[in-house]
Chains A and B, each alone.
Chain A
Amino acid sequence: GEDVEQSLFLSVREGDSSVINCTYTDSSSTYLYWYKQEPGAGLQLLTYIFSNMDMKQDQRLTVLLNKKDKHLSLRIADTQTGDSAIYFCAPRPPGGYNKLIFGAGTRLAVHP
C-alpha cells in the first residue's frame, strides 16, 4: 500500500518562505492533497495537485510535484504566525474508493 513520509518539524522566521516536503511510494496516486490542522481543530483543505501537473500556484501557496522521485512539496511565501499549524500531505491512490493516505504531518512553527 501507499506509504507517505514527512519531516515532523519545521521552524521559520516570520516573513520567510516555508517549504514542507513529502515523499510517497505509490506513483499512480491521482490527486495529492495538502491539509492544514490548527491546534484542537479539524482539517482545512489548503490545496491539491493532479498527478499530470508539476506545479500549482494559489496565492501564497506553491505546490511542486516530482512524479519521477515521488516527491511533493508545499511552499508558503511570506510565512505568517497564523500559518503555524500541522500540515498533512495526503495522496489519493487510484481505484477503489476515495481513501486518502495521510503522512504523519509536519508541525510548522513561525517565530518573530
Chain B
Amino acid sequence: DTEVTQTPKHLVMGMTNKKSLKCEQHMGHRAMYWYKQKAKKPPELMFVYSYEKLSINESVPSRFSPECPNSSLLNLHLHALQPEDSALYLCASSQDWGSTDTQYFGPGTRLTVL
C-alpha cells in the first residue's frame, strides 16, 4: 500500500480564518513533506519532517505552520493567508529523508483564499 491521504479535498477560507490541512500515511515512512503547487507550475517544496522533527523550512512565511503530531500524521496550520496563497497543497512521504527513497504523494488539498 503506497497511499497518502489528505483532507479536506477542497477548502475555501477568508483572510482572517484559521484552518488546518491534514495528511496521513500508514506505510511506516519517517519523512513527510509539504509542497505547494500553483496552477500550471511544478510543485515547490515547503517543509520536510524527519522522525517527527522539522528538518527543512524552505523560507516559508510564518502564516503557514506545520506540525507532525506522530509518525503517521502531518498537519499544516493556516492563519491570515493571502489570496496569492491559493494553490494545490500536496503532502508526500518517503521511507527516510537523507536517502534516495521515493516520495509518494497524496491527492492534494485545493485551497482558495478569498
Residue of B nearest to A104 (CB): B42
Chain B interface residues (CB < 8 Å from chain A): 2, 4, 6, 31, 41-43, 45, 48, 50, 55-56, 90, 92, 94, 96-108, 110
Stretch at the interface among A12-20, A62-70, A92-100: A92-100
7 shortest interchain CB distances as A-B pairs: A102-B42, A43-B105, A42-B107, A42-B105, A42-B108, A31-B100, A98-B97
Chain A positions 64-105 with a Cβ under 8 Å from a chain B Cβ: 88, 92, 97-100, 102-105
B41, A104: Cβ atoms closer than 8 Å: yes
Q: A42-B106, A44-B105, A97-B48 are in contact. Are A105 and B42 (CB under 8 A)?
A: yes
B90, A42: Cβ atoms closer than 8 Å: yes
A103, B42: Cβ atoms closer than 8 Å: yes
